[in-house]
Amino acid sequence: MSAILKKFKRSKSANSIWRQPLAVVGIVIILTWTILAVFAPWIAPYDPNAQDADKFLTPSAQHWMGTDELNRDIWSRIIYGARISLPYSLLLVFLSATLGSIIGAISGYAGGKVDSFLMRVTDVFFAFPGIVLAMAVAAALGPQIRNAVIAVTIVAWPVYARLVRGLILNAKQNDYVTASALLGSSALRTMVVDLRPNLSGPVFVLASLEVGNALLLLSGLSFLGLGAQPPAAEWGSMVSMGAVNFDRWWVGLFPGLAILTAVLAFNFIGDSLRDALDPRTAKALRD
């Protein structure tokens, strides 16, 4: 059986990530945001789009984080913002991990010309300034959070492709793949049945490390006006309101802190997961 997955599983149960303080902090933060997002209508003190307060109220007992230019309660908007930022970053990571894994799997399994072609393409994407391409795609598709997700997916898959290809090349040298090839398994079967368990662990860890980056890129695009559009309560575009009114510190500060805590939490978790992996895979993840 796959050594990597065994290690991964074992480290998950026995060397549990619950014993790593940073991971626990991360999990607690993400749980908190999840609860806030799910129960937003009950938790948020105000309607996120209601414009019934005064404009630019400083933080107070009524409005914990003050109000913005359009008289809206910032804390309520941040709570609703979790409904955009978290699911879309996860979706983005899921999409790019899937796309990248497929490309990497084809590349690693096929080998030869296909492999070198796909790896050249991957190299090109690595050389590419991701955010520039993402901006262009987002602008072309029209500024919408959905399009921003597509745009970032297009630039975010290569890391997974490289990882999966490397893992497959490693696994190919293992006996069981050769054995199953000898027994006449089809390529697809070999890939799905024999290799998948080997790959899912590291890919999962890489994905967990990438959620934070995804959130940063998405909210960055929104900050630039290329992601979620007003009046949607999205953290990045809320910060951009703070940029226009930078003397009202609370307008940009709190949504930014929301991004920071969520990204940090994901990174805490991803980092701890990686440390729980065996060193060789961990190194493959770093490079």
Output the smallest distance, CB 99 to another protein, in A.
Answer: 14
Find all residues with CB under 8 Å of 94, minimum gap 6, and list them: 207
Output the smallest distance, CB 219 to another protein, in A.
Answer: 6
DSSP letters for 67-85: B-TTS-BHHHHHHHHHHHH
Half-sphere exposure of 188 (CA within 13 A, CB side): 0
Pick the closer one to another protein by CB: 194 or 271.
Answer: 271
Pick the closer one to another protein by CB: 198 or 213.
Answer: 213
Output the smallest distance, CB 146 to another protein, in A.
Answer: 13
Pick the closer one to another protein by CB: 84 or 138.
Answer: 138
Sign of torsion over alpha carbons 37, 39, 41, 44 = negative
As beta bridge partners, residue 67 has 73
Binding site residues, another protein, CB under 8 A: 7, 10-11, 14-15, 22, 120-121, 123-133, 135-142, 154, 212, 216, 219-220, 223-226, 236, 239-240, 242-243, 246-247, 249, 252-253, 255-256, 259-260, 263-264, 267-268, 271, 276, 278-279, 283, 286
Output the smallest distance, CB 189 to another protein, in A.
Answer: 29
Pick the closer one to another protein by CB: 76 or 240.
Answer: 240
Output the smallest distance, CB 72 to another protein, in A.
Answer: 19
Pick the closer one to another protein by CB: 39 or 249.
Answer: 249
Output the smallest distance, CB 93 to another protein, in A.
Answer: 15
C-alpha 170/C-alpha 114 separation (Å) is 18
Pick the closer one to another protein by CB: 190 or 281.
Answer: 281
CB 86 within 8 A of CB 246: no
CB 165 within 8 A of CB 100: no
- Residue 131's nearest CA partner among 164, 159, 156 is 156
Pick the closer one to another protein by CB: 168 or 226.
Answer: 226
Pick the closer one to another protein by CB: 55 or 283.
Answer: 283
Output the smallest distance, CB 229 to another protein, in A.
Answer: 14
Output the smallest distance, CB 208 to another protein, in A.
Answer: 13
C-alpha 222/C-alpha 51 separation (Å) is 22
